[in-house]
Chain A
Amino acid sequence: MSEDQPILNPTQVRELMGDDEALIREFVDVALTEVEELAARCVEAAKGGDLAQAGLSAHAVKGAAANLGGERLRALAHRAEQACKAGQAECVSLASGLPGEAAALRQAAHEQGWCGP
């Protein structure tokens, strides 16, 4: 994970959803909720040794984060997915970082006025 990457790239959201603020808020709310649930599922699966399920959840986080412009979360989810697939021990620590990064993404979206804290 690179600290140079933005937590949130608002341009990506606008590129996908246009300038309709209500639609953006609806999308961000749905996407963030999914990202948080998937991140939690990924951690649980990784800690339980179910790396296949952890990899699938990390993959889903990656896709949803990409749509949200959550570049740091996307990059972390990608690394977690690869580690799960490769059966690497660091997959647990990478997965464990996902909820925190998801929270950071929510905070950044909140600052854009797109969702609650």
Chain B
Amino acid sequence: MVRAVSEQRAPARALVVDDLASNRLVAKRCLSELGVEVSEAAEGAAALEALSARPFDLVLLDLEMPGMGGEETLRAIRANPALRDLPVLIVSAHDDVERIAACLEAGADDYLTKPFNASVLRARASASIERKRLRDRERRTLEELAAQREHAAQLLLNVLPASVAARLQRGERTIVDRVDSATVLYAELSDPPFGAREQSSEGAVGLLNELFSLFDDLAAARGVERIKTFSDAYIAVGGAPEARDDHACAVADLALDMQRGAAGLLARRTRPTSVRIGISSGPVIAGVVGATRFSYDVWGEPVRTATFLARHGVAGAVQVSGRTRELLESTHLLEERGSFYVQGAGEVRTHLLSGAL
């Protein structure tokens, strides 16, 4: 007993291609018993047209037809990538072995000689349709998997630098890089938005979102990596993960961009505020932390010093360490401000960045 192939799902569709109406009638009757919807074509060209118009699950193909014959039609079907997996069952009065073998080699899935036994036709048609549906399901699953993998990769790119995400995807478990020379930028608002009486929570978050989105765009334009934000602070690094000789210069230009952009944005507040920025250069450790929620971060003396310089900086200005000043001497305008004791770094001479040369 051949099981119907349309139980509890959309009915399968078959295309019967034969120049004789009586043959099409016989095939239609046999397949209808399986619950298969049958369309008809009297020759090859009409069959190809029907196949391009809607999806089918099976083709029953005669060989001798006026116009485009069965073999030519079969070759055209197999040459079309969209029809590559479509089962084709040859039904012909030709019973010579060479011709049967040639059809199978050309891509036919099966071959039945006329007069065929109706039960055998149904069994072979049913098996072909089932195989096709399994292949379709497998292809859909693979497509879904690929889409999920792409989505995961995209999510990874949202939180990690592209080169770091690529290393994780290649299977690197631990990513720790010693960077000989990088420049760290630490920025924060001189007057934090939270707690201010005239600022609602929604307004404060909205402001930070607007400000940090602007900083992200500016950092991307300068090729500087945003590391993270927390509270009203924004941290970025130049020279990691991709090393570059002009990291201090790029970060200094970014700091100037950020001050200009922030000035326009923050002037709209009821109680005007501004951004303080600290910059320091030196060796850092960069790496990824987290097993399921990844975070790219940098550690080292420049991070501590940049944080200190921002917190003890001047509203609306950019304060840089002595090491950074040395790297900016030929490219930027700097004014000496004084010196501070920074824990872990000792005495640090600082300068205010006033522009590019």
Contacts and interface: CB of A to CB of B under 8 A. Distances in A.
Interface of A: 12, 15-18, 23, 26-27, 30-31, 34, 56, 59-60, 62-64, 66-69
Given A15-B118, A63-B93, A67-B115, A34 B26 contact: no
B22 interface: yes
B23 A64 contact: yes
A15 B25 contact: no
Contact of A30 (B21, B64, B114, B117): B21
Contacts, number: 54
Interface string B26-58: 100110000000000000000000000000000
Given A31-B20, A34-B21, A63-B92, 5 more contacts: A12-B115, A16-B118, A34-B22, A62-B114, A67-B23
B215 to A, nearest CB: 77
Interface string B1-30: 000000000000000000111110110011
Given A34-B22, A64-B23, A67-B115, A59 B29 contact: no
A15 B117 CA distance: 7
Interface in B98-128: 114-115, 117-118
Contact of B114 (A18, A27, A56, A67): A67
A3 to B, nearest CB: 21
A31 B21 CA distance: 7
A60 B92 CA distance: 10
A60 B118 contact: no
B29 to A, nearest CB: 6
Contact of B25 (A30, A59, A66): A30
A37 to B, nearest CB: 10
B23 A26 contact: no
Q: Which of B29, B92, B93 has the most CB of A within 10 A?
A: B93
Given A15-B118, A60-B64, A67 B26 contact: yes
Interface of B: 19-23, 25-26, 29-30, 64, 92-94, 114-115, 117-118
A4 B64 CA distance: 29
Contacts of B115: 12, 16, 63, 66-67, 69
Given A63-B93, A66-B93, A16 B29 contact: yes
26 contacts: A12-B115, A16-B30, A16-B115, A16-B118, A23-B29, A27-B25, A27-B26, A30-B21, A30-B22, A30-B25, A31-B20, A31-B22, A31-B25, A34-B20, A56-B64, A59-B93, A60-B20, A60-B64, A62-B114, A63-B93, A63-B115, A64-B22, A66-B93, A66-B114, A66-B115, A67-B26
Nearest to B21: A30
Given A16-B29, A59-B93, A64 B20 contact: yes
Nearest to B93: A63
B118 A59 contact: no
> Which of A12, A16, A26, A27 is most buried by chain B, counting CB atoms within 10 A of its CB?
A16
A17 B93 contact: no
Contacts of A66: 93, 114-115
A17 B64 contact: no
Contacts of B64: 56, 59-60
Nearest to B22: A31
A30 B21 CA distance: 7
Nearest to A55: B64
Contacts of A67: 22-23, 26, 114-115
Nearest to A24: B29
Contacts of A64: 20, 22-23
The 8 closest A-B pairs by CB, nearest first: A31-B22, A66-B115, A63-B93, A63-B114, A30-B22, A66-B114, A16-B26, A62-B93
